[in-house]
């Protein structure tokens, strides 16, 4: 039902008292290794909700790649489309100080080697998918090839993160383009305006068929040529917002594939995002369908 084409990273996390200056060494906590990357996160989030989910990605022929594949399989993701080798598995090197602030270095590794040729070679996966969800932690030309390979009538969901200028061909396929506040502001630049409704209008003018803007605890806003709708999020005690947007986007794509209208799919996705912030981590925090909070009252 849902094909995720995107990145898979190993997140290597060390707690430090303070970050080292140039030339300095500091000692940190024990290393924690977590499966991550926006593509991997989306696939796990959807599968855990019960969606039939496949991942098209590239990892290295190394221990991190094995760890990431195991995490996907444990969640029930079909990993037949995950390519192995060509470069080390992507990693995020993360230090966290006592106030919770991060410093992160990402080595894209194998994610940068997921090529348009890989997408063409995986034509069967793409031709079978009713919904395809992507992000921008893989090459933009690869995402463009995904758009070209969509089966007629298939729905394409894109979270343009990290934000980058998008070709018209990719924008025109997005239904919806899913952004958070930061991504909306980067894409719209100085003309962004202040209200999410203005961002939605500005983003729609770029050519996507529909837009969803996630607004943290305030929920989300959906927009297409006929309607702009505010969707509240359930009230929860937020512990860690890491990966909430990925869970939201995966749930949104799955529900759209089931035939739900955009506001209804976003309301479901908001419940998933809200559940994800109540626990630490990204993939570790993702709920099953029975763990979702009830919808916020309108
Ligand atoms: P990102 O993780 O990309 O920054 P957001 O912070 O907008 O994205 O979160 C994605 C979704 O997760 C939101 O639309 C909302 O439904 C849910 N969410 C995030 N933070 C909270 C929160 N503090 N309380 C309730 N829901 C939240």
Q: What is the pLDDT of residue 206?
A: 97
Residue 1 lies in a domain: no
Distance CA(147)–CA(132), nearest Å, equals: 9
Task: Please state the atom number of ligand 1 nearest to the C-alpha of residue 181.
Answer: 7
pLDDT at residue 296, rounded to an integer: 84
Residue 2 has a pLDDT of 97
238 close to ligand 1 (CB < 6 Angstrom): yes
For residue 255, tell me if it sits in a domain. Answer: yes
Query: CB of 236 closer than 6 A to ligand 1?
Result: yes
Q: Which of 62, 97, 246, 298 is catalytic?
A: 246
- Residue 215 forms part of a structural domain: yes
- Looking at the domain assignment, is residue 212 inside a domain? yes
- Overall number of domains in the chain: 1
pLDDT of residue 267: 98
**pLDDT score at 191:** 80
> Is 247 a pocket residue for ligand 1 (Cβ < 6 Å)?
no
The Å distance, Cα 38 to ligand 1 centre, comes to: 15
Q: Which residue puts its alpha carbon closest to atom 23 of ligand 1? A: 217
Q: Residue 294 gets which letter from DSSP?
A: P
- Residue 243 Cα to ligand 1 middle (Å): 9
Has residue 187 been placed in a domain? yes
Query: Among 216, 218, 251, 267, which is best to mutate for testing ligand 1, by the most ligand atoms less than 8 A from CB?
Result: 216
What's the CA-to-centroid distance between 247 and ligand 1, angstroms? 9
pLDDT of residue 266: 98
pLDDT in tens, 252-278: 999 999 999 999 999 999 999 999 999
Residues 6+ apart with CB under 8 A from 144: 116, 167, 169, 170
- What CA–CA distance (Å, rounded) separates 176 from 120? 23
The whole-number pLDDT of residue 10 equals 98
Query: Has 118 been annotated as catalytic?
Result: no
Peptide bond into 223 cis (omega under 30): no
Q: State whether the beta carbon of 220 lies less than 6 angstroms from ligand 1.
A: yes
What is the pLDDT, as a whole number, of residue 257?
97
Q: Are strands 155-159 and 131-135 parallel, antiparallel or unpaired?
A: parallel
pLDDT recorded at residue 100 = 85
Binding-site annotation, residues for ATP: 180, 214-219, 245-246
**Which CATH number is 214's domain given?**
3.40.1190.20
Residue 16 placed within a domain: no
Name the residue of 137, 253, 277 to mutate for ligand 1: max ligand atoms within 8 A of Cβ. Answer: 277
What integer pLDDT is reported at residue 222 of this predicted model? 98
Domain that holds residue 241: 39-58+115-291
Structural domain contains residue 34: no
- Please tell me the distance between residue 161's alpha carbon and the centre of ligand 1 in angstroms: 15
Q: Is the dihedral of CA 286, 292, 293, 298 positive or negative?
A: positive
Q: Are 245 and 162 in contact (CB under 8 A)?
A: no
Contacts of 69 (CB under 8 A, 6+ apart): 59, 79, 82
How far, in Å, from the CA of 124 to the mean position of ligand 1? 34
- Tokens at residue 277, please? 């912030």
C-alpha dist (Å) from residue 229 to 152, 169, 241, 253: 28, 26, 23, 17
Residues of the chain with pLDDT under 50: none
Q: Establish whether residue 233 lines the binding site of ligand 1, counting it when its CB lies within 6 angstroms of any ligand atom.
A: yes
Residue 177 per-residue DSSP state: E
Chain centroid, CA 296 distance in Å:
23
Looking at residue 142, what is its pLDDT? 98
Q: What is the pLDDT of residues 17-28, one digit of tens each?
A: 999 999 999 999
Please indicate, yes or no, if residue 236 is contained in any of the structural domains: yes
What one-character DSSP code corresponds to residue 242?
Answer: T
């Amino acid at each position: 039902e849902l094909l995720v084409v995107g990145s898979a990273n190993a997140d290597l996390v060390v707690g430090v008292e303070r970050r080292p200056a140039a030339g300095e060494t500091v000692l940190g906590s024990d290393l924690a290794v977590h499966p991550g990357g926006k593509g991997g996160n989306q696939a796990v989030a959807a599968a855990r909700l019960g969606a039939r989910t496949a991942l098209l990605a590239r990892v290295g022929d190394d221990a991190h790649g094995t760890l990431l594949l195991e995490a996907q399989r444990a969640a029930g993701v079909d990993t037949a489309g995950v390519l192995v080798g060509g470069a080390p598995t992507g990693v995020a090197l993360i230090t966290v100080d006592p106030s919770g602030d991060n410093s992160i270095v990402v080595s894209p590794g194998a994610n940068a080697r997921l090529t348009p040729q890989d997408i063409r070679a995986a034509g069967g996966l793409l031709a079978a998918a009713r919904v395809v969800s992507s992000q921008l932690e893989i090459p933009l030309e690869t995402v463009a090839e995904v758009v070209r390979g969509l089966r007629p009538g298939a729905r394409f969901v894109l979270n343009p993160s990290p934000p980058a200028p998008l070709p018209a061909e990719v924008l025109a396929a997005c239904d919806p383009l899913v952004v958070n506040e930061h991504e909306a502001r980067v894409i719209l630049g100085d003309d962004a305006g202040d209200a999410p409704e203005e961002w939605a209008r500005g983003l729609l003018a770029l050519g996507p068929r529909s837009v969803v803007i996630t607004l943290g605890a305030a929920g989300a806003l959906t927009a297409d040529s006929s309607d702009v709708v505010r969707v509240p999020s359930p009230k929860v005690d937020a512990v860690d917002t890491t990966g909430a947007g990925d869970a939201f986007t995966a749930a949104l794509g799955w529900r759209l594939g089931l035939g739900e209208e955009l506001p209804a799919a976003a309301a479901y996705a908001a419940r998933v995002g809200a559940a994800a912030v109540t626990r630490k981590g990204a993939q570790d925090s993702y709920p099953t369908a029975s763990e979702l909070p009830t919808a916020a009252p309108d």
